[in-house]
Chains A and B, each alone.
Chain A
Amino acid sequence: MPRHAAPFVFATAQYESGDWDSAPSLPANLIDSVARYTSLPVAPQGVSVSLSSDDALRYPLLFLTGHLPVRFTPQEGRVLQRYVQRGGLVFIDDHNHDIDGAFHKTATEEIARLVAPLTPLPNTHALYSAFFTFPDGPPTTSHELNGWGDNLIHEQLLAVRTGERISVLYSNKDYASEWNFHPDNKRFLGVDPTRFGVNIIVYALTH
């Protein structure tokens, strides 16, 4: 059957205040998983796009992570607001997996200021069955279990939603660390941890 849909491009958001490129292997790993598990057309390489540029609007799914405090510039704030109002989905992951760390406090404040307050996402949400099924909600990361960070397992993700549709998805489970490895190393893992990343991408493309 002929393909007509333009390939999906994984986009990482650049922002001025923090270390936006703290998980450099993550895009390639998720691109590999999308190609591995689905027949979706996917661009072989991701892109980095400045949040202060309208070019960000070309990529309706944006990944944003970091360790450091987040303060969006006025232009970044305007683009982020426009992005969400038009139907884009921003996935933010706290690379610290802290409950009260600098990234978490500032990022959630910024989202509340620019978009809306984040609220817990029910573990029965369509996100958890968009492709693979996660009956218990967001999968636990090894970093939540190994003593680093706050030593807590975060039972739920946070989100800004319009109705049931997610506009901003926020995780402090540190998927940025969990998925930041070379795709070839998946063969050494019993369960591929990036499967939940496939769910996020499929959800964004279909909801």
Chain B
Amino acid sequence: MRSRTDARARRAGEAVLRALGVGALLLALWQAWRPARDAAAARDARAPLVSADSLARLLSDPSRSALALELAAVPDAERRALLQAATHAGVRVGWRGVDGAPLLALAVSAESRVDPAGGTVVRLAAPPDVVVELADSLGWIDSATVTAPGVTWQVPGEARAFTVRVGGTQAHTGAPTRITPRRVRLLAEAGWDARFTLLALEEAGWAVDGAFVIAPRVRVNAGRPEALDTARYAVVVALDSSAWSQAPAIARFVREGGGLVLLPEAASGAPAVMPRAGPVGARTEGVPGALRTAAPREGLAFRPFARLEPGSVVLEQSTRAGSPPTVVARRVDAGRVVQVAWASTWEWRMLGGDASVAAHRDWWRLLLQRAAAGADPVPSVSGAWPGDAAPLADLVARVGMPGSVPDGTANQPSTPRPPDSRLLLLAAAALLAEWWSRRLRGAR
């Protein structure tokens, strides 16, 4: 009787073990394939993103299948990369601004100035009326209120990386490649315009080659004038009609990527082959006394543009009635033409106010920067494109558009998670014990 009772108890135990093993197996499989929604995800939904460390902790939970973020500012590059990694690992990441407000869109670029003195041009696109700060590794440099179409800083000194800050959002540039400009060729008759243009360009650091007409077949050289070639010269400055005899060479130079600064006396009546931004009208004298005012160029003689060639871009305008353009740029094949309406600019330097020497020099420096071609247009971004140069665009590229915040009731994650090893161990032990018990009693 006892043996029959023992045998029934043993078979009952084996049945329990079998049920336990199969149940553990089923539970492990269910855990691996269960829906993504869980208590932890629901608890953390819409939790603000505080730091990269906390984000890493949140994402270290293997059971997490969704993450909802409410952002006051665009996360930094490290956090954006973590979020992208999480999406690649199957976690559904959604985000939006606090209370649905849009995040600030910034885009910043930096390129070396084409200037012997070096320097960097930093350009920022941002919504209007936003106050932005410019900084480098040593700290704050400047602040500005954004106006359409953006903000441009001319930063002297060595080429380096910059940061633009607006509230908690930062955009970064890489350090642009330093450009070593080629020489300048000055074409002019001997005269005060030639002397003072040469003076301003040399003070600005440019190496200038000039050939000044003194008499028929007699030219006086400054520097070492050579044939026009983009390998030798960055810019040709044509002050007057003495440039006309070289108009075909100038046109070829510009088409091949050279820059041309054209003063009105060189543009007026020039051969048709001469690249221009437009024909010029009759000369009018400057406004008396204006050379010593805040708009000193109004005191210079002026030859207005009769019309502008298609594709011309107005860079400066007069304060006179109708705001006529005074500096106009135009692309001609690979090169650029910058045409000026002001004449006899030397008078500004000699007869202007106390700062006229520096102002005249800086104006000429800017004209040459505008005409000279820069380096190849390799964006100086920090990180992969768009990267830190446009942090909001980078966030969208990595994670997606705002507004798609997971609600926590979504379906299965796209990939199964590994089963719980403890349940598998329990199932294996139970089934092994059941099999061992059956074999000991001689059953199959």
In the bound complex, CA of A88 to CA of B53 (Å): 66
In the bound complex, CA of A131 to CA of B213 (Å): 11
Residue B346, interface by CB 8 Å: yes
Residue A39, interface by CB 8 Å: yes
Least Cβ distance of B360 to chain A in Å?
9
Chain A residues, CB < 8 A from B356: 86
Chain B residues, CB < 8 A from A88: 350
Chain A residues, CB < 8 A from B195: 60, 87, 204-207
Residue A85, interface by CB 8 Å: yes
Least Cβ distance of B223 to chain A in Å?
11
Contact across chains for B350 and A57 when beta carbons are under 8 A apart: yes
> Which listed residue (A1, A37, A57, A85) contacts B241, Cβ 8 A?
A1
> Which listed residue (A38, A86, A207) contacts B218, Cβ 8 A?
A38
- Interface with B: A2-10, A24-32, A43-51, A64-72, which one? A2-10
Chain B residues, CB < 8 A from A5: 189-191, 193, 240, 265
Name the residue of chain B whose CB is nearest to the CB of A203: B220
Residue A40, interface by CB 8 Å: yes
Least Cβ distance of A36 to chain B in Å?
10
Contact across chains for A131 and B214 when beta carbons are under 8 A apart: yes
Instruction: List residues 268-327 of chain B with CB under 8 A from any CB of chain A.
Output: 268-269
Residue B385, interface by CB 8 Å: no
Chain A residues, CB < 8 A from B214: 38-40, 131, 202, 206
Q: What is the predominant secondary structure among interface residues of chain B facing chain A?
A: helix
In the bound complex, CA of A58 to CA of B251 (Å): 35
Residue B216, interface by CB 8 Å: yes
Least Cβ distance of B331 to chain A in Å?
27
> Which listed residue (B210, B344, B349) contacts A206, Cβ 8 A?
B210
Contact across chains for A58 and B199 when beta carbons are under 8 A apart: no
Residue A23, interface by CB 8 Å: no
Residue B27, interface by CB 8 Å: no
In the bound complex, CA of A202 to CA of B192 (Å): 11
Least Cβ distance of B239 to chain A in Å?
8
Residue B162, interface by CB 8 Å: no
In the bound complex, CA of A165 to CA of B357 (Å): 16
Chain A residues, CB < 8 A from B193: 5
Chain B residues, CB < 8 A from A169: none
Contact across chains for A60 and B350 when beta carbons are under 8 A apart: yes
Residue B222, interface by CB 8 Å: yes
> Which listed residue (B212, B220, B357) contacts A86, Cβ 8 A?
B357
Least Cβ distance of A46 to chain B in Å?
16
Contact across chains for A38 and B344 when beta carbons are under 8 A apart: no
Pair count A-B, CB < 8 A: 87
Contact across chains for A130 and B220 when beta carbons are under 8 A apart: yes
Name the residue of chain A whose CB is nearest to the CB of B210: A206
Residue B351, interface by CB 8 Å: yes
In the bound complex, CA of A38 to CA of B212 (Å): 12
Least Cβ distance of A148 to chain B in Å?
34
Most A CB atoms within 10 A — which of B210, B240, B350?
Answer: B350
Residue A76, interface by CB 8 Å: no
Chain A residues, CB < 8 A from B210: 206
Instruction: List residues 182-207 of chain A with CB under 8 A from any CB of chain B.
Output: 202, 204-207
Instruction: List residues 352-370 of chain B with CB under 8 A from any CB of chain A.
Output: 356-357
Chain A residues, CB < 8 A from B351: 54, 57-58
Please judge, given known A-B contacts A4-B241, A58-B351, whether A205 and B215 are in contact too, CB under 8 Å.
no
In the bound complex, CA of A39 to CA of B222 (Å): 19
In the bound complex, CA of A8 to CA of B190 (Å): 10
Instruction: List residues 196-248 of chain B with CB under 8 A from any CB of chain A.
Output: 196, 198-199, 210, 212-216, 218, 220, 222, 240-242, 244-245
Chain A residues, CB < 8 A from B222: 206-207
Instruction: List residues 137-157 of chain A with CB under 8 A from any CB of chain B.
Output: none
Please judge, given known A-B contacts A39-B213, A204-B195, A205-B194, whether A60 and B346 are in contact too, CB under 8 Å.
yes
In the bound complex, CA of A38 to CA of B191 (Å): 12
In the bound complex, CA of A4 to CA of B191 (Å): 10
Least Cβ distance of B8 to chain A in Å?
116
Contact across chains for B357 and A4 when beta carbons are under 8 A apart: no
Least Cβ distance of A53 to chain B in Å?
12
Contact across chains for B350 and A8 when beta carbons are under 8 A apart: no
Least Cβ distance of A108 to chain B in Å?
25
In the bound complex, CA of A87 to CA of B196 (Å): 7
Chain B residues, CB < 8 A from A37: 215
Name the residue of chain B whose CB is nearest to the CB of A163: B202
> Which listed residue (A8, A39, A87, A130) contacts B199, Cβ 8 A?
A87
Chain B residues, CB < 8 A from A54: 351
In the bound complex, CA of A188 to CA of B1 (Å): 163
Please judge, given known A-B contacts A39-B214, A40-B190, whether A131 and B220 are in contact too, CB under 8 Å.
yes
Least Cβ distance of A153 to chain B in Å?
28
Name the residue of chain B whose CB is nearest to the CB of A83: B350
Contact surface of B with A, Cβ cutoff 8 Å: 189-196, 198-199, 210, 212-216, 218, 220, 222, 240-242, 244-245, 265, 268-269, 344, 346-347, 349-351, 356-357
A-B contact pairs, 15 of them (CB 8 A): A2-B241, A2-B269, A3-B189, A4-B241, A4-B268, A5-B193, A5-B265, A54-B351, A58-B347, A60-B192, A86-B357, A87-B196, A206-B194, A206-B198, A206-B220
Q: Which 8 A-B pairs have the closest CB atoms?
A: A4-B265, A5-B191, A205-B190, A4-B240, A38-B215, A57-B350, A39-B215, A206-B212
Q: Besides A39-B215, A202-B190, 4 other CB < 8 A contacts?
A: A6-B192, A38-B215, A54-B351, A57-B350
